Amino acid sequence: MSQESGGIGVFGLLGVLFVGLKLGGIISWSWWWVTAPFWGGFVLAVVILFVLVAVALASDKRKWW
């Protein structure tokens, strides 16, 4: 029997909550911050990847070309 991960995660719940609070007029945050839980993880992954590539290129141990 396999267990599949399904449903909504923590960041999805936060995103839905923030959108509901924004539309309900409870918070007056910018839409950038309200939607941050939806796209924030992707941006963080890209930044980490960029740092890792920069460190690898700066290192003399490995040649990329």
**% the chain with pLDDT above 90:** 60
Identify which has the larger pLDDT, 58 or 27: 27
Residue 38 near residue 15, CB atoms below 8 Å: yes
pTM of the model: 0.66
CA angle 4, 10, 11 (to 5 degrees): 115
In-domain check, residue 25: yes
**What does the CA dihedral 22, 26, 30, 34 come to, rounded to 10 degrees?**
-50
**Structural domain tally of the chain?**
1
* pLDDT for res 59: 79
In-domain check, residue 14: yes
In-domain check, residue 5: no
In-domain check, residue 18: yes
Domain that holds residue 54: 10-58
For residue 23, pLDDT beyond 60: yes
In-domain check, residue 63: no
Give Cα 17 distance to the centre of its chain: 16
